[in-house]
């Protein structure tokens, strides 16, 4: 597949609250470190962000707790892209927090969420956050328990004008129902992929019924690669990661993708996956 003319627009669009975005976006977490854990090259990370926007990415996922020894995702975004394009949606998340030395803190209490929102505002240089996801639970374990108090606190910040739209992350269908009763929800962000968390197939449909975007993270992660993925990749002359991204986008019109990378070449490959169309037979081979 040629990659030089393909933009994020090839994935189609979704209405994220009152903002229309291309379904292919970008995740900022991998900007901070190289694969071996060493600090990323700052100039390259900034170039990747600018190239993503040049290639049509108009929603970027980040968080104040995305930082490493030398890099902060929010600071890189601010430096690379401010003053921000009018159509760029920056999505952040609150709930987890880290101290100045990088240690993970206990999950934020409702009264602490305003401080986390303000931290993102300062780092990004914004007076309003486009979309804030409330992340439930620590690590990758699926969150449990009620989110009512914490989501209610974010709803108050939305009413105060600090936040434009709200979402939830690391959640179940019950959490979505609970949140919708408190304030509008425009996105659900969970770990999900071809070979991960497939119990969320039903949650994608529930989100679609309510006009809510489903945004998988770690969608292209894999252990040993699935044979159908490698076979279909070879047939299309693409990478297995591109097949996984295309499969993700085929899951429904409300499914967005936010692959992250610090590599300009991988960025172009990821965005090119927006144009990869899989046949019903290929989709059946992948899910079979």
Domain-by-domain residue ranges, the chain? 16-222+253-261
User: For the segment 142-151, what is each residue's pLDDT rounded down to a tens digit?
Assistant: 777 899 999 9
pLDDT at 5 over 90: no
* Structure-model confidence comparison of residues 76 and 4, the more confident one: 76
Q: pTM of the full predicted structure?
A: 0.95
CA 88 to chain centre: 14
Catalytic residue, chosen from 14, 26, 65, 66, is 66
pLDDT at 3: 46
Average pLDDT over residues 24-38: 93
Average pLDDT, the chain: 94
DSSP string of 175-235, one letter each residue: HHHHHHTTS---EEEEE-BTTB-GGGHHHHHHHHHTT-EEEEESTT--SSPPHHHHHHHHH
Find, among 207, 287, 281, 209, the residue nearest to 248 by Cα.
Answer: 287
Average pLDDT over residues 11-21: 97
pLDDT at 28 over 90: yes
Look up 192 and say whether it is catalytic.
no
CATH number assigned to the domain covering 16-222+253-261: 3.20.20.100
Average pLDDT over residues 26-50: 94
Q: According to DSSP H, which parts of 82-180 are helical?
A: 113-124, 148-159, 173-180
């Amino acid at each position: 597949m040629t990659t030089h003319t393909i933009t994020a627009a090839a994935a189609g669009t979704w209405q994220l609250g009152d903002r229309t975005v291309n379904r292919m976006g970008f995740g900022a977490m991998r900007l901070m470190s190289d694969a071996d854990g060493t600090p990323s090259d700052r100039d390259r990370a900034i170039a990747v962000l600018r190239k993503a926007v040049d290639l049509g990415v108009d929603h970027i996922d980040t968080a104040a707790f995305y930082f490493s020894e030398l890099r902060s995702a929010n600071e890189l975004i601010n430096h690379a892209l401010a003053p921000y394009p009018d159509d760029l949606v920056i999505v952040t998340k609150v709930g987890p927090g880290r101290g100045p030395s990088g240690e993970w803190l206990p999950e934020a209490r409702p009264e602490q969420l305003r401080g986390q929102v303000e931290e993102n505002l300062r780092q990004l240089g914004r007076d309003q956050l486009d979309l804030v996801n409330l992340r439930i639970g620590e690590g990758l374990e699926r969150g449990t328990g009620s989110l009512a108090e914490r989501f209610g606190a974010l709803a108050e910040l939305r009413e105060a004008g600090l936040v434009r739209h709200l979402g939830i992350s690391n959640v179940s269908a019950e959490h979505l129902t609970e949140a919708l009763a408190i304030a509008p929800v425009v996105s659900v962000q969970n770990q999900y992929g071809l070979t991960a968390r497939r119990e969320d197939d039903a949650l994608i449909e529930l989100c679609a019924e309510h006009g809510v975007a489903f945004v998988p993270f770690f969608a292209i992660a894999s252990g040993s690669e699935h044979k159908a993925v490698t076979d279909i990749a070879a047939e299309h002359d693409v990478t297995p990661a591109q097949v996984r991204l295309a499969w993700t986008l085929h899951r429904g019109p409300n499914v967005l993708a936010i692959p992250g990378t610090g590599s300009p070449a991988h960025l172009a490959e990821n965005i090119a996956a927006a144009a990869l169309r899989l046949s019903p037979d290929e989709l059946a081979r992948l899910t079979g």
